[in-house]
A and B are shown apart, each in its own frame.
Chain A
Amino acid sequence: MKVEEICSVLNGELVCGSDKSQREVTHAFASDLMSDVLTVTCSNLLLITGLANLQTIRTAEMSDIDCILFVRNKSVTPEMKTLAEELGMALITCPSTMFRASGELYRAGMKPLF
């Protein structure tokens, strides 16, 4: 699923990485627990999270995740955006809860990891 499709399905906004709207992600993983994210071995992954801070970006970097969806209208700070830009990440925000966002993306064809 392309980044722009994720935004369309969830009424989301691509707040960082406007040139990455055509990037494809095949699988998604939803968690607010960063140590959990670090156990994931899949590449080409969308991280769905309600945790919006610099360590979310850092954790994604260490996990080779280059697309993050922040749910519940979480704010992406300028510091987060700067780091994400440096790392070539796409950041999306959406108003849905994590449960709804996961459900809508699953229905639209996004694959779960397990």
Chain B
Amino acid sequence: MSFEYRVTGGDFTHAGYASSQVKKMLKQLGVDSIVIKRVVVCLYEAEVNIVAHAWDGIINVELDTDTIFMKLTDNGPGIADIEQAMQKGFSTASPEVREMGFGAGMGLPNISANADRFLISSEPGVGTTLQITINLNSPAV
């Protein structure tokens, strides 16, 4: 199964909609609750990152019997130094984003901690792509 969701930068009203839909689908499929939580924490953090930092983006979710693969591609300012962005506490979020409870430099480390496989690539001035894979049959990271 595959699904696609569009995300609009700055639209905090709808941020989390895709993650919510994926969570409902995984629950209906009877996926282990610990695995669901890992999936939605990764996806929600990544979805909020698009809303917080990019102009727009697309989320592609591919689900098979063993894994869920999520690819988030955004059009945005990109990340100049990925190693720095992966450090806990580093953030370039605006005051508005911080007022929403995000932008403390925990998003990418949270994704990395919950994913079985996490790839990030970025081109400054163009955008960022995240590829997240989680095994559906192994609750522990």
Known contacts: A35-B110, A39-B110, A55-B48. The answer to whether A64 contacts B37 by CB under 8 A is yes
User: CA–CA, A61 to B36, complex, Å?
Assistant: 12
A53 CB-CB contact with B under 8 Å: yes
Majority SS of interface residues in chain A?
Answer: helix
Kindly list chain B residues whose C-beta atoms are within 8 Å of the C-beta of A36. 104, 106
State whether A35 touches B45 (Cβ < 8 A): yes
* A to B contact number (C-beta, < 8 Å): 66
Mark contacts of B6-31 with chain A using CB atoms, 8 A cut-off: 1 yes-contact digit, 0 otherwise: 00000011011001100100000000
* One of A35, A41, A58, A79 near B37 (C-beta < 8 A): A41
The size of the chain B interface, using a CB distance under 8 A, is 22
* Minimum Cβ distance to chain A for residue B77 (Å): 20
Nearest-neighbor residue (CB-CB) of A86 within chain B = B20
- Of listed A36, A58, A64, residue having the most chain B CB within 10 A: A58
Does A75 have its Cβ within 8 Å of any Cβ on chain B?
A: no
A32 CB within 8 Å of chain B: yes
**A76 close to chain B: CB less than 8 A:** no
Within 8 A of B (CB), among A44-67: 51, 53-56, 58-59, 61-64
Q: Which of A33, A55, A79 has the most CB of B within 10 A?
A: A55
The answer for the CA separation of A51 and B63 in the assembled complex, in Å, is 34
| Pairwise interchain contact B12-A62, C-beta atoms closer than 8 A | no
B residues bordering A, Cβ < 8 Å? 12-13, 15-16, 19-20, 23, 33, 37, 40-41, 44-45, 48, 100-102, 104, 106-107, 110, 113
Residues of A within 8 A of B (CB): 32-36, 38-39, 41, 51, 53-56, 58-59, 61-64, 79
Q: Nearest 3 CB-CB pairs, A to B?
A: A58-B16, A35-B106, A34-B101
